[in-house]
Amino acid sequence: MNTAHARDRASLPSLVDPSIIVPALTASVTKLDPRLMIKNPVMFVVEVVAALTTILFVKDVLVGGTSLAFSFQIILWLWFTLLFANFAEAVAEGRGKAQAASLRKTRTETQAKLLDSERARDFTLVPGGQLKVGDVVLVEAGDIIPSDGEVVEGVASVNEAAITGESAPVIRESGGDRSAVTGGTQVLSDWIRVRITAAPGSTFIDRMIALVEGASRQKTPNEIALNILLAGLTIIFVVAVATIPSFTAYAGGTIPIISLVALFVTLIPTTIGALLSAIGIAGMDRLVRFNVLAMSGRAVEAAGDVDTLLLDKTGTITLGNRQATSFRPMRGVSEEDLADAAQLASLADETPEGRSIVVLAKERYGIRARQMGELHATFVPFTAQTRMSGVDIGESIIRKGAVDSILAYLSPKIPVLSAGAAPTVKSLVGADQVREVQAIADDIAKAGGTPLAVAKDGRLLGVVQLKDIVKGGIKERFAELRQMGIRTVMITGDNPMTAAAIAAEAGVDDFLAQATPEDKLALIRSEQAQGKLVAMCGDGTNDAPALAQADVGVAMNTGTVAAREAGNMVDLDSDPTKLIEIVEIGKQLLMTRGSLTTFSISNDVAKYFAIIPAIFAAIYPQLGALNIMHLATPESAILSAIIFNALIIVALIPLALRGVKYRAIGAAPLLRRNLLVYGLGGIIVPFIGIKAIDLLITTIGLA
């Protein structure tokens, strides 16, 4: 995984930190409240059984029952089982709680400068908590933004460290895709007017606090289904154990209730039951540590199921900046002349493309960058109308721009020239030249580049080849995704030829060229119609419908309010490549549940072999042959099983929190691996564990 993404927040404590362990120990006890326990059917059953046996034990103590020491130990371990389960959950919640506490600090009461109207200059100071949706506030340098909102006027640099942990300030401005501001962040310079978009108590930070604390945690669909399975297994074992007394009555013997309780509790899937909610919380926590906020656990689970990943080309697959890679002059023009003109046109062009042209000309032909001032040149900036930029040096006029814009500029009578169509009207450029420049342009596009035509004084000089630079290592990531069974689709505004070339270079499975927001939405719908789950990320308001339609929509934190509302996750780092990690985290969450369920159920084999011979030995000594672990006495066997059953929960807490590692090796090898480790391991480990505990407790004389 990319270490840049794995950057933990400095303030996050580790798991063995006393600041997590100590409150977790307290919580282990308070969580024994049956009203809380009932949410977890398996552990609730354990609690009921533990309570009943405790009552029976007290009665036995009063009336003087037998083997009290043994009963006492069993009951003790029943309660330990419950405490361990609660501890697992509390530890998982701990890190979130610590984070929530630091977030709460940012929510301290701020005074808001409430404007009487959007245009008004006068404001009244009101507490931030009283702001309603639609209010407009003024936020000036040094002020804390009082609530979530949208910038309606102004531009300011904002420190969002409170929510992203990133101290470098970001620009927030009205209009465009960077208009959302978050309550609790601080304006560093300039001023903005903000229209409040969140009701009190439901701001982004409020939701974040609720999420990381797990307060709003709801069971996800798969978790519900798994709970049903576990409850069903519990009922099966109720029947299996509850029928034993009458079976033994037939055989002419009785079995102490405490032994049956021990058998029952060890058979029901307590391991997974105890760790289930910890796994879920830890999954969310992993996302939070990746600086991604999931609005629901359902979204995290859906991420694991994603079949199709829609990725924007720019910034995700390619570096944001195109680079000039070669000069392609027209016939009769020297490459050097083209380079010279292109460099002059780009001197004042501060875009990365412009700078790369200056650099390339210098590298190839030693043309030194000149100063605009020395040349008495005037820079002509890019406008949406002309779609060109350039420079005027005295009489000389140099322009660069997209091929069709330059052609349109050179032959004003041809507004738009489609590829291959010969001009019908006489122009400054001849038909031959048009064909030639088109051929060069096509050539460049096929190679995944973008052609940029250069004209000087009404003469077409040639084309600069700009190339998209595919991010290093991205091809391997896509190969990995393919292994996971996920199809990647590149979304780009480029023409199909360029798109195809970049798609091939980056190794994506498919691409959508000249994509409009509507195209994106249509693509998502058609994928979903085939039963696929789609993930995408976006930031602009025009991405909002697609974000809402996608099963997993990751909104960039830099994006608009609309985009943030539409998505079901927000990436605080605004890094689109994170989709890949999000998918992995989703898969990890499901795998951890599945693997521990398998482990938990497999454990039953050994527990039967420990307890069955022990409880039936008094009735049928022959059944001692089933004591294949050679456990010392029936008491030590039962005690060892119940101790193992409790300790395994603690032993597996780190795994539950860390998650079972996902490997992109295809479903069958992955399953084989997990079955070997957790299935076969689940059968073997308790045999060893129970035997070891038996040796220990007989040595120290507990049984």
Partner 1 sequence: MTINGWVQILVFCALVAAIVSPLGWYMTRVFAGEKTFLSPLLRPVESGLYKLAGIDEREEQHWLTYALAMLAFNLTGFLVLYGLQRFQAALPYNPMEMANVAPDLSFNTAVSFVTNTNWQNYGGESTMSYLVQMVGLTVQNFLSAATGIALAIALVRGFSRASAKGIGNFWADMTRAVLYVLLPLCIVLAVVYVARGVPQTLGASVDVTTLEGGKQTIAVGPVASQLAIKMLGTNGGGFFNANSAHPFENPDALVNLIQMISIFAIGAGLTNVFGRMVGDQRQGWAILGAMAFLFLAGVSVAYWAEAGGNPLVHALGVEGGNMEGKEVRFGTAMSALFAVVTTAASCGAVNAMLSSFMPLGGMIPLINMELGEIVIGGVGAGLYGMLLFVIVTMFVAGLMVGRTPEYLGKKIEAKEVKMAILAILSLPVVMLGFTAIAVVTPTALSSIGNPGPHGFAEVLYAYVSGAANNGSAFGSLSGNTPWYNLTLGAAMLIGRFFVIIPAMAIAGSMAAKKRLPVSAGTFPTHGGLFIGLLVGVILIVGGLTFFPALALGPIVEHLSVIAGQSFAAGG
Q: Which residues are catalytic?
A: 312
The residues facing 510 across adjacent strands are 489
How far is residue 256's CA from residue 56's CA, in Å, rounded to a whole number? 11
Q: Please say whether the beta carbons of 294 and 567 come within 8 A.
A: no
* Smallest gap from residue 231 Cβ to partner 1 (A): 8
- Smaller CB separation from partner 1, 64 or 531: 531
Contacts of 350 (CB under 8 A, 6+ apart): none
Q: Shortest gap between Cβ of 286 and partner 1 (angstroms)? A: 14
Work out the angle at residue 147's Cα, subtended by the Cα atoms of residues 142 and 150, and round it to the nearest 5 degrees. 90
Taking the complex as a whole, how short is the minimal distance between the CB of residue 482 and partner 1, in angstroms? 7
Cβ–Cβ under 8 Å, residues 427 and 411: yes
Closest separation in Å from C-beta 179 to partner 1: 36
Count Cα neighbours of 260 within 13 Å in the Cβ-side half-sphere: 19
Cβ(294)–Cβ(668) below 8 Å = no
Distance, in Å, from the CA atom of 660 to the CA atom of 653, rounded to the nearest integer, reads 12
Among 703, 687, 684, 691, residue whose Cα is nearest residue 631: 691
**Which residue, 435 or 672, is less far from partner 1 as judged by CB?**
672
Give the phi and the psi of residue 224 in degrees, each rounded to 5: -65, -45
Closer by beta carbon to partner 1, 605 or else 647: 605
| Least distance CB 254 / partner 1 (angstroms) | 12
Q: What are the angstrom distances between the C-alpha of 345 and each of 98, 103, 171, 407, 640? A: 55, 50, 29, 17, 83
Q: Which residue number, 130 or 243, has a Cβ lying nearer to partner 1?
A: 243
Beta bridge partners of 187: 158
Nearer of residues 240 and 650 to partner 1, judged by Cβ = 240
SS3 102: helix
Residue 641's closest CA among 597, 559, 553, 703? 703
Sole residue written with tokens 């979304």: 491
The end-to-end CA distance of the chain, in Å, is 49
What token pair was written down for 182? 């978050």
Cα 306–Cα 599–Cα 37 angle in degrees, nearest 5: 85
Please choose, from the candidates 5, 210, 184, the residue with its C-alpha nearest in 3D space to the C-alpha of residue 96: 210
CA-based nearest residue to 567, from 580, 577, 579: 579
- Give 446 or 658: the residue with its C-beta nearer to partner 1: 658
Rank residues 545 and 594 by Cβ distance to partner 1 and give the closer one.
Answer: 594
> Please, what is the minimum distance in Å from the beta carbon of residue 567 to partner 1?
20
Least Cβ distance, residue 361 to partner 1 (angstroms): 47
Nearer to partner 1, 389 or 595 (CB): 595
Q: How far apart are CA 599 and CA 603, in angstroms?
A: 6
Nearer to partner 1, 234 or 438 (CB): 234
**Residue with Cβ nearer partner 1 (32 or 589):** 589
Residue 322 near residue 466, CB atoms below 8 Å: yes
CB of 686 to partner 1, least distance (A): 13
CB of 529 vs partner 1, minimal distance in Å: 9
Q: Pick the closest to residue 520 from 536, 502, 504 (CA basis).
A: 536
Residue among 94 and 304 whose Cβ is closer to partner 1: 304
Minimum distance, C-beta of residue 299 to partner 1, in the bound complex (Å): 13
DSSP state at residue 167: -
- Minimum CB separation of residue 217 from partner 1 in Å reads 17
Rounded to whole angstroms, the Cα distance separating 195 from 192 reads 10
Instruction: Tally Cβ neighbours within 10 Å of residue 479.
Output: 12
- Which one, of 81, 92, 230, lies nearest residue 648 by Cα? 81
Task: Rounding to the nearest 10 degrees, give the CA dihedral for residues 640, 646, 650, 653.
Answer: 130
Please say which residue, 306 or 639, places its beta carbon nearer to partner 1. Answer: 306
DSSP state of 541: G
Q: Secondary structure of 194-217 in the HEC alphabet?
A: EEECCCCCCCHHHHHHHHHHCCCC
Answer for the pair 52, 242: CB distance below 8 angstroms, yes or no.
no
| Residue in 3, 7, 660 with CA at minimum distance from that of residue 292 | 7
CB atoms within 10 A of CB 186: 20
Minimum distance from residue 65 beta carbon to partner 1 (Å): 24
Burial (Cβ within 10 Å: 0-12, 13-18, ≥19) of residue 142: exposed
